[in-house]
Structure 1
Amino acid sequence: MVKIGNLELGEFPLLLAPMEDVSDPPFRAVCKENGADLMYTEFISSEGLIRDAAKSVQKLDIFEYERPIGIQIFGNEIESMREAAAIAEAAGPDILDINYGCPVHKVACKGAGAGILLDIDKMVAMTAEIVKRVNIPVTVKTRLGWSQDTIRIVEVAERLQDVGIQAISIHARTRQQMYKGEADWSYLNQVKDNPRLKIPVFGNGDIDSPEKAKAYREKYNVDGMMIGRASIGYPWVFNEIKHYFETGNKLPGPDLEERIKVTKKHLDFSVQWKGEKQGILEMRRHYTNYFRGMPNFKPFRTRMVTAESYDEVAGILEEIHEVFADYQF
């Protein structure tokens, strides 16, 4: 049984990665219904929380159906991160996660996210202060290192454990790689082989099929997996992986009816959370992903991403159901 603090997550939990502009409550809802064991919010700026910025504060929204749920924060100032941790804890999550992995320039080059991998001592000091500040389990998501020649992930994981984190998720790329090239999970084996390390280690990077998930589980000795890009437009990936673990057989993929049903459910959650206008606007980034691979779909996509009312989108979904009734994925 994998545990973070007192949270029991099963024998081999599948985590939904925190993804900016993706992992909001509506998306988390459909992932939860399709097998995600633990999810995190989008990363939230510590400075935004301290300034009470509306966009940052709204990202604190969590709902009972999501539990267990973690709130993820990022920043480059220790005192700001301490304050933000307290604000996040007050929102009632089960876990507080620290983002030490975001590779994008505007974050990393200010010393936050993966940028802190250039200053491991500061990373450890910041983590220690956050652990002391809150009363819920603290976890970390990070990368292997800043670059190939600065990888110190075995040391990093041990030192973070020693100051109190209760799990670590490792994206098996460096910051320099961004999302390119192949993730190198062999470093995760090295982390797990450290006899001093007792906390769960979750692997992240390139898990995009049940077959790969099973192969990596058997080869790399991790305690669970964090799935990001493979879940976008395809929340079924969690249950498909679990079924493959248990049986060795692949579940049939979702048919058109199931895709439309989940798209509409996602849309419903989005409108309930953000209101009709904003909810519809924020759903636009998801439509292409739900119907990826369908021929001659562009006209429908164009209409969906320009539709301005809930009824209009719902009508287009009904039309898709009729026009593509015989299409087999």
Structure 2
Amino acid sequence: MNIGHITLANHLFVAPMAGVTDRPFRQLCKTLGAGYAVSEMVTSRRELWNSLKTSRRANHEGENAPIAVQIAGTDAAMMAEAAAYNVDRGAQIIDINMGCPAKKVCNKWAGSALMQDEALALSIVEAVVAACAPHRVPVTLKMRTGWCQAHKNAVVLARQFEQAGVQMLTVHGRTREQGYKGQAEYDTIAAVKAAVRVPVVANGDITTPEKARDVLAATGADAVMIGRAAQGRPWIFREVAHFLATGTHLAPPLVAEVKRLLLDHLREHYTLYGDYTGVRTARKHIGWYVKTLPGGETFRARMNGLEDCGAQLAAVADFFDELGAGMDRMPEAGAAEPADRDEEPVETTV
């Protein structure tokens, strides 16, 4: 599968999730079978580019290609400038955020709020495409099915965005009004796929290999994007890839492998964030891993009180050593997985 002139490894994507899909997490998912990962959203506001948060989000040191950066904002000129800024810092693909439903984003008319103003949305796309064209950087876009049930305009906008030069479209199967409630619907994604020639990516509630297969079949989409189901279970990408290729399930990973993966992830996380912030922001990742494991809740409560990276690493290692003494492999994934909350903002400023 291609995005413009860039060839991807496969059609299994990591959803951009603010506060989650930083460089270490993206690298981990790519190692475990994801063919493509988009960064956390980067603001279009120039005065925030030198902030510590934005500098971390724009850090791509050692990241495997292609490097895709998502930008968010409401002004066409500022979005074009943000695109150029990120291209200068290594972005090989620019993704426009028109999918985020968070109030703190939509109240500023960014994210999925832009779907209410089709003229503004189109002007932003045209400006970003123009800024990226001299560098041969493809522009992609992520959106919802519409602002509300009564105004699903994804198909109309998809045609306009394709004509303006967008080279891939991702559609989350909910309106902004729905947020993350209810079930994602895929009929609108199928309609978008039928309406355009560029690749279309299906997103929303994709939590198992079977669901990935069914969504691809129902929508005709070129790829699927997985968000929350990868939290604490980043090997879902290789599980989906194996199932799509063979129709059989891959065995769960060995406990010893998960211990190694998590410890390596934590070390990379500390390197990016530093000791003070790193040990605190790592807690959510550890919590996702252990949530459904025997003794996981007790361990998480104790681990959340640790304020030293070395102590956190040692505690995680001990927990998985004890787990491995009782079982060789991780448990099978539960039947009831959490909803796929892609792009859920954490401390996001637009």
Greater shift after overlay, 299-308 or 209-218? 299-308
- 2:138 paired with 1:137: yes
CA distance in 2, matches of 1:286, 1:193: 38
Q: Determine the structure 2 residue equivalent to 1:225.
A: 224
> Is 1:326 equivalent to 2:341 in the alignment?
no
1:136-215 to structure 2, matched below 5 A, reads 136-194=137-195, 197-215=196-214
User: Is the 1:259–1:290 Cα contact (8 Å) retained in structure 2?
Assistant: no
C-alpha separation between the residues in 2 aligned to 1:28 and 1:8? 18
Distance 1:51 1:95 in 2: 19
Aligned partners of 2:67 and 2:90 also within 8 Å: no
Partner secondary structure for residue 86 of structure 1: helix
Deviations 1:83-111 (A, max 9, x none): 11111111111100100010000101211
Unaligned runs of 5+ in 1: none
8 Å Cα contact 2:266-2:313 kept in structure 1: no
1:53-68 aligned at under 5 Å gives the runs 53-68=51-66
- Distance in 1 (CA, whole Å) between partners of 2:154 and 2:318 is 51
- 8 A contact 1:117–1:145 mirrored in 2: yes
Distance 1:179 1:143, change over 3 A: same
Structure 2 counterpart of 1:326, one-letter code: G
**Alignment deviations for residues 101-157 of structure 1 (CA, whole Å, 9 cap, x no partner):** 100001012110001011011101110011101231110011010001110111111
| Paired residue total | 325
Matched, 1:46 2:47: no
Distance 1:269 1:15, change over 3 A: same
Aligned residues of 2:263 and 2:317 also touching (Cα < 8 A):
no
Q: Which amino acid aligns with 1:101?
A: G
Percent identity, aligned pairs only, is 33
Give the Cα–Cα distance (whole angstroms) in 2 for the partners of residues 107 and 193 of structure 1: 30
Equivalent residue of 1:41, what SS? strand
Structure 1 Cα separation of the partners of residues 264 and 47 of structure 2: 30
* Corresponding residue for residue 105 of structure 1: 103
> Which residue is 1:264 aligned to?
263
What is the one-letter code of the residue matched to 2:231?
A: I
Deviations 1:61-92 (A, max 9, x none): 11344311201110111221121111111111
Indicate the residue corresponding to 1:286 in structure 2. Answer: 285
SS in 1 for 2:300: helix
How far the C-alpha of 1:282 sits from its partner, in A, is 1.4
**Do the aligned partners of 1:71 and 1:97 also contact (CA within 8 Å) in 2?**
yes
Residue type matched to 1:221 in 2? G
Q: CA RMSD in A?
A: 1.5
Q: Which deviates further from its counterpart, 87-96 or 310-319?
A: 310-319
Determine the C-alpha separation between the residues in 1 that align with 2:319 and 2:182. Answer: 36
Distance 2:44 2:123 in 1: 16
Question: 1:306 Cα shift?
Answer: 2.1
Greater RCO (CA < 8 Å, at least 6 residues apart): 2
What letter matches 2:94 in structure 1? L
Residue type of the alignment partner of 1:225 = V
How far did residue 172 of structure 1 move? 0.8
Q: Give 1:21 deviation, angstroms.
A: 0.3
The one-letter amino acid paired with 1:127 is: V
Residue type at the aligned position of 2:172: H
Taking the aligned partners of 1:51 and 1:267, their CA distance within structure 2 comes to 26
Alpha-carbon distance in 2 for matches of 1:47, 1:224: 31
Aligned to 1:92: 90
Per the alignment, residue 238 of structure 2 pairs with 239
Query: Is the 2:149–2:175 Cα contact (8 Å) retained in structure 1?
Result: yes
TM-score by structure 1 length? Answer: 0.95
TM-score of the pair, normalised by structure 2: 0.89
Residue 171 of structure 1, CA deviation: 0.6
Paired with 1:309 and 1:50, the residues of 2 have a C-alpha distance of 29
1:36 maps to 34
Distance (Å, rounded) in 1 between the aligned partners of 2:47 and 2:240: 36
Matched with 1:75 is 73
Specify the code of the residue in structure 2 equivalent to 1:117: M
Q: C-alpha separation between the residues in 2 aligned to 1:128 and 1:316?
A: 50
Q: Which amino acid aligns with 1:186?
A: D
Contact 1:48/1:56, CA 8 A, preserved across alignment: no
Secondary structure at 2:169 match in 1: strand
The amino acid of 1:158's aligned partner reads R
How far 1:205 moved relative to its partner?
Answer: 0.3
Unaligned runs of 5+ in 2: 332-350
Counterpart of 1:73, as a letter, is I
Moved over 6 A (4+): none
- What's the secondary structure of 2:307's corresponding residue? coil
